[in-house]
Amino acid sequence: METAINQTFKTKATKLLGVNKEDAKISKTYLFVSFVILLVGGFLGLAQGLNRAGLLELPSWLNYYQVLTMHGVFMLLAFTTFFTFGYLYAGLSHELGGLLPKVRKFVWTAFASKIIGAVLVVIPILMNEASVMYTFYPPLKAHPMFYIGLVFFAVGMWLCNVGAFIQVANWRKNNKGKHVPIFSYFATGINVLMFFALIPVAIEVLYLIPWSLGWVKTVNVMVSRTLFWAFGHTLVNIWYLTATSAWYVIAPKLIGGRRWSDTLTRVVIIALVIMNITGGFHHQIIDPGISLPVKMMHVFMSLAIGFPSLMTAWAMFAVFEKTARKQGGKGLIGWYKKMPWGDVRFLALFISMASFAPAGAGGIAQTTNQLDTVVHNTMWIVGHFHLTLGVTVALAFFGISYWLVPYISGRVLTPQINKLGVIQTWIWTIGMIFMSGAMHTVGLFGSPRRTSFTTYGDHATALGWNPYMMAMAVGGTLLIIGVILQVYAVINMMFFAPKGETEFPIAEAEENASPTPYWTERWGLWIVVMLLVVAMAYVVPLTEFIVNAPPGSPGFKTW
């Protein structure tokens, strides 16, 4: 009896303090690892940038392609994954009354699995046995340990997905007929998408392992590439959806407003979940062996994803304008005067959002066959994903950290750290404008991606790239300053900032909103629709690749 009372007292106390201690530990660990990875990954990126400008010669024991493989894996896979789960689980705990003990076990096991996976992936890269880039396209063949590490990492991601499903399902059981709260609804969508996107890449890796062990002689290159991009394309959209969650749910609260249409928000999430996996072939638009109608269908599906993105842009500006008008803002663009530009939590989110306009436009160009033939495999592409990932996603994550880290650490954001954050945000933005701008431009002039420094025997065209490479190195230098400031801010907020209570800023739905229809809760149905759309896009080409397969390829170690 007494323990029961103690128990309730304890939960009350933690509730009052705003955060459940055990759940906070989970998020803190995930976020800490995430930012350490960002720090290492940032230095690797700088090394690449300086090398390509001819300013830095890499040592023979850590060559360009080892650095590039590690940078890609760290930034695209590890930084993002650890951040996303630290963030999502903090929100699930906050909104759904604390994580279930079972769910915590899932998340910790997942953590161990991901760390083991990451170590297993890094060892062969350092041994120079796995310079296959984060895309690990066969016939490039890595050490088996690399692929086994990927399996552990994927299992870790799956365990996190399942933990989230259990948490949400439990809440729904206890709250029959109610809508899952909005942050948890986003978390559900993100986890559903990730759970299914991991299946094709898991199949790919499981058949690359026997090949890399030498048990099987050859591999079907087209099937592997297709399975990879069904995942890879979806993964980057998962990070985008994670950033989007902060725009819809967090940003309105930071400006003192309310969320925009709850129904529309949920429809956007459903649309992004259903349509995403099916865009994968736009990464293979130049690949031979895929029939034109199939490519056309993927182009169509890729452009279709632009639709919910445009809805998002519209919704966001509607929120800004509505909120500003309530506060007395006037005129067509008068709202911008009312926005809290000095608040890093808002500023970073805003630039994250704004950058998606040019980033998305570039993406639409790349989805067009003729235009893509100009930029395919050039530095343009690297410029593109440093806008989408490096700004839209990374800046959203940075912006979130300025309230999330204090929230889970029982501390507060001080004016000094806020100021530092504002400076960091601008340094990062300017750095990326330099770097990404230079990459886009030099890509149009034909400079290839994934190529260490060379002047091609002082060929005039290659020499013409030099000024842009210098601009790229300048951008990279600004960015590393940005990385250091950001990591410093996170460490400060996690361990040293003054103790206090920080809010998890979830905005309320708008006043007198019409009720959200209940079909938005029917995830079983949406998953079936998603699988049908995926089948429409992949069954025919995959069957074709397998039934009419050309001779398989043996493995190559080109480095």
Which positions ≥6 away from 393 have C-beta within 8 Å? Answer: 80, 236, 239, 240, 242, 243, 352
Closer residue to ligand HEM in complex, CB, 49/257: 49
The residue type of 95 is E
Write the binding mask 411 to 450 for ligand HEM: x where contact by CB under 6 A, - elsewhere. --------------------------------------xx
Closer by beta carbon to Cu ion, 241 or else 264 = 241
Query: In angstroms, how far is the first alpha carbon of the chain from the final one?
Result: 67
Per CB under 6 A, the list member of 34, 49, 261, 339 interacting with ligand HEM is 49
**Of 34-42, 227-235, 335-343, 409-417, which part binds Cu ion (CB under 5 A)?**
227-235
Residue 48 binds ligand HEM, judged by CB under 6 A: yes
Contact partner at residue 67 from Cu ion, ligand HEM, none, CB < 5 to 8 Å by partner kind: none
Q: Compute the least distance from the CB of residue 389 to Cu ion, in Å.
A: 11
Q: Which residue has the tokens 């759904």?
A: 96
Pick what 233 binds: Cu ion, ligand HEM, none; C-beta below 5 to 8 Å, kind-dependent.
Answer: Cu ion
Q: In degrees, to the nearest 5, what angle opens at C-alpha 366 toward C-alphas 431 and 430?
A: 10
Q: Is 71 in the site for ligand HEM (CB under 6 A)?
A: yes
Q: Which residue in the shown chain puts its C-beta closest to ligand HEM?
A: 45
Q: Is 76 in the site for ligand HEM (CB under 6 A)?
A: yes
Three-state SS string over 413-468 comes to: CCHHHHHHHHHHHHHHHHHHHHHHHHHHHHHHCCCECCCCCCCCCCCHHHHHCHHH
Interaction residues for ligand HEM, span 142-201 (CB under 6 A): none
- In the range 28-47, which residues lie near ligand HEM by CB under 6 A? 42, 45-46
Closest approach of Cβ 281 to Cu ion, in Å?
Answer: 9
Residue 19 interacting entry, from ligand HEM, Cu ion, none, C-beta within 5 to 8 Å by type: none
Position with the least CB separation from Cu ion: 233
Least gap, CB of 296 to ligand HEM (angstroms): 27
Under rule CB under 6 A, residue 479 binds ligand HEM = yes
Tokens of 386: 């440093």
Nearer to Cu ion, 179 or 233 (CB): 233
Give least dist CB 370 to ligand HEM, A. Answer: 23
Q: Nearer to Cu ion by C-beta: 270 or 359? A: 359
Tell me how far CA of residue 554 lies from CA of 132, 207, 208, in angstroms. 15, 13, 11
**Interface residue with ligand HEM, options 114, 476, 490, 538 (CB under 6 A):** 476
In the complex, minimum distance from the CB of residue 279 to Cu ion, in angstroms, rounded to a whole number: 5
Q: Which of residues 288-327 bind ligand HEM (CB under 6 A)?
A: none
Q: How many CB atoms lie within 10 A of CB 521?
A: 18
Nearest-angstrom CA–CA distance, 305 and 309: 7
Number of Cβ within a 10 Å radius of residue 210: 13
For residue 378, which phi and psi values (nearest 5 degrees)? -100, 175
| Stretch in the footprint of ligand HEM (CB under 6 A) among 352-360, 364-372, 386-394, 530-538 | 386-394
- Alpha-carbon distance of 213 to 373, in angstroms, equals 36
* Site for ligand HEM contains 68 (CB under 6 A): yes
Q: How far apart are CA 407 and CA 87, in angstroms?
A: 11
Closest approach, Cβ 424 to ligand HEM, in A, equals: 12
Report whether 158 contacts 195 (CB < 8 A). yes
Residue 553 is given by DSSP the state: B
Q: Which of 233, 259, 266, 384 binds Cu ion (CB under 5 A)?
A: 233
Instruction: Choose the one of Cu ion, ligand HEM, none that binds residue 225, judging by a C-beta under 5 to 8 angstroms depending on kind.
Output: none
For 451, counting Cβ atoms within 10 Å of its Cβ (0-12 exposed, 13-18 middle, 19+ buried), the class is middle
Contact 120, 148 (CB under 8 A): yes
Choose among 509, 91, 508, 517: nearest CA to 267. 517
Choice between 362 and 476, CB closer to ligand HEM: 476
- The answer for 290, left when phi > 0, alpha when psi is -120 to 50, beta otherwise, is beta
Contacts of 376 (CB under 8 A, 6+ apart): 285, 286, 366
Residue 134 contact, options Cu ion, ligand HEM, none, Cβ 5-8 Å cut-off depending on partner type: ligand HEM
Q: Are 246 and 332 in contact (CB under 8 A)?
A: no
**What does the binding site for ligand HEM look like in residue numbers (CB under 6 A)?**
42, 45-46, 48-49, 52, 68, 71-72, 75-76, 79, 133-134, 382, 385-386, 389-390, 393-394, 449-451, 476, 479-480, 483
**What does the binding site for Cu ion look like in residue numbers (CB under 5 A)?**
233
